[in-house]
């Protein structure tokens, strides 16, 4: 059983590596189209390069904002799709993705646990952002105040009916 799970995690890690490599190649091609040399990104972060050519800094800021936008679109669509597929059981998908992400990171950085801290923090942040405080839970709150008041009113009526039944049953029991 141990050998089966070790092979399964190896194949999972290799599959995610291929997926991440594909995304990285698409991203570097997009950066090349924007005129940013993706093979030497550290050059763009040096203060001397920014002082010599401020347009590079603007391109880098634009590329970072574009990356954030693409990432938020991808994560938003992905988790919205999961929320639509799983409905009330979305938490199972969240827990499964969180577990698989942690397994991937811990397997990837098996020999170097110090480098696993930042990716694990990112995974935990995404896990909490997709929880009850996330966009996916707030999306269904577009009902009006009147609808909410009507719902509360009907709940109060149901509670009053149940309370009357309980009181009637107690009265019957005390009369007998």
For 92-116, write each residue's pLDDT tens digit. 888 888 888 888 888 888 888 888 8
Task: Count Cβ atoms below 10 Å from residue 94 Cβ, excluding itself.
Answer: 21
Three-state secondary structure readout of the chain: CHHHHHHHHHHHHHHHHHHHHHHHHHHHHHHHHHCCCHHHCHHHHCHHHHHHCHHHHHHHHHHHHHHHHHHHHHHHHHHHHHHHHHHHHHHHHHHHHHHHHHHHHHHHCCCCHHHHHHHHHHHHHHHHHCCCCCHHHHCCCCCCHHHHHHHHHHHHHHHHHHHHHHHHHHHHHHHC
User: So what's the pLDDT on residue 151?
Assistant: 80
In the prediction, which pLDDT does 22 show? 92
Q: Which residues of the chain have a pLDDT value below 70?
A: 41-45, 130-143
pLDDT of residue 45: 66
The pLDDT assigned to 101 comes to 86
pLDDT at 140: 53
Q: What is the pTM of this model?
A: 0.52
């Amino acid at each position: 059983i141990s050998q089966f799970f070790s092979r399964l995690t190896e194949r999972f890690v290799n599959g995610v590596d291929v997926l991440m490599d594909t995304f990285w190649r698409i991203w570097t091609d997009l950066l090349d189209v924007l005129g940013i040399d993706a093979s030497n990104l550290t050059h763009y972060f040096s203060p001397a390069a920014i002082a010599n050519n401020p347009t590079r800094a603007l391109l880098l800021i634009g590329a970072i904002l574009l990356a954030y936008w693409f990432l938020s679109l991808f994560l938003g669509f992905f988790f919205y799709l999961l929320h639509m597929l799983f409905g009330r059981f979305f938490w199972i998908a969240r827990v499964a993705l969180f577990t698989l992400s942690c397994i991937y990171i811990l397997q990837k950085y098996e020999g170097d646990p110090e480098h696993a801290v930042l990716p694990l923090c990112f995974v935990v942040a995404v896990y909490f952002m997709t929880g009850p405080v996330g966009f996916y839970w707030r999306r269904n709150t577009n009902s009006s105040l009147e609808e909410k008041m009507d719902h509360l009113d009907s709940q109060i009526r149901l509670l009053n009916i149940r309370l009357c039944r309980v009181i009637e049953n107690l009265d019957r029991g005390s009369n007998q």
